[in-house]
Amino acid sequence: MTQIRGFIEATRRPGVLGIHSLDHFSLTVPDLDKAKSFYESFGLEVRKEGTGLALYTRGHPHRWGLLSEGPRKKLHYLSFGAFEDDLPRFREHLNQLGIELLDPPPGFESNGLWFRDHNGVPIEIRVAEKSSPSAKSVFSAVSAPPGVAGAVSRGKAPVTHPRRLAHVLCYTVDVTRAIEFYSKVLGLRLSDSSEGNIAFMHGVHGSDHHLIAFARSTGSGLHHISWDVGSVEDVGLGAMQMASKGYVRGWGLGRHVLGSNYFHYVRDPWGSYSEYSADIDFIPADCDWKSADHPGEDSFYLWGPTPPEDFVHNYEIEN
């Protein structure tokens, strides 16, 4: 594998049809100015594109998210990246499954394949460079030597800037159906699950423990968007920088069990979350991860504060 701009050249599992990345997400929000303020405070670069906003991470050319204005916050669509030679195979695969192809949403140009998932959420499969990692992301935990102070003053604390989109967690009315659809149609594989309440899925060509996850609800929607950072220090400083901007509602600092990542969630103005995530498990392209269904009490978090009572409440179906 070859190092390119701090990332690893794309790997793939030969002969297996599957998407390689969560390329980007699209949301509608009722107030683009509020969205711009939230995501810039979070440490992202927010750029005006057309009539909406695009989300980037500092120093990375990839566009991770698109925001457009609408009457309420809603998951608009999810776009997944595939290798160029796999797109004709995906077209035939969708045809064999009897999945109806759609036109792109109005105002969104695309040469990819569009259809709806089991919940009716628009999905795109498009040719794109692999933006999911092909090796475990670098994680640092630096300890100061004797005689040297390990922490800077708060006034000199650096700003946390996420490095990339890590994953999204979506609500679904049926977690089992979500697993079946995304494995059969997109070629994702189950990493871990818990009692029909949540499931985590990874890409076959090498990805984090999950690039998408599903939580049970009475309707579809978005629970959180996760962003990769390089240390627990980055997670903690991110939480503080958001609190200093007035975004105090959330959950963390803690460590998950499934995926193992350190986390802090910050609630956005519409009831979903953005997560600072560090040191998540990685599943290489040549690894057959042994998935398991875990009891609820042993699948949420290893340590951390008690989550808010409404942490898993789907506000999207009420807006």
Q: Which domains does the chain have, with CATH numbers?
A: 14-131+162-317 (3.10.180.10)
Sheet strand arrangement including 250-256: 189-194, 198-202, 212-216, 164-172, 221-228, 273-278, 262-267, 250-256, 301-303
Question: What span, in angstroms and rounded, lies between the C-alpha atoms of 252 and 304?
Answer: 6
Stretch 284-298: mean pLDDT: 94
**pLDDT surpassing 70 at residue 15:** yes
**pLDDT surpassing 90 at residue 3:** no
The CA distances from residue 155 to 152, 238, 274, in Å, are: 8, 14, 25
**318 band by pLDDT with thresholds 50, 70 and 90:** low
CA angle 292, 133, 9 (to 5 degrees): 135
| CB-count exposure of residue 45 (10 Å: 0-12, 13-18, 19+) | middle
pTM (2 decimals)? 0.94
Q: Is the peptide bond before 258 cis (omega within 30 degrees of 0)?
A: no
Mean pLDDT over each residue of the chain, to the nearest integer? 94
**107 band by pLDDT with thresholds 50, 70 and 90:** confident
**pLDDT surpassing 70 at residue 5:** no
pLDDT digits (tens, 9 = 90+) for 172-189: 999 999 999 999 999 999
- Strand partners of residue 8: 3
pLDDT of residue 11: 80
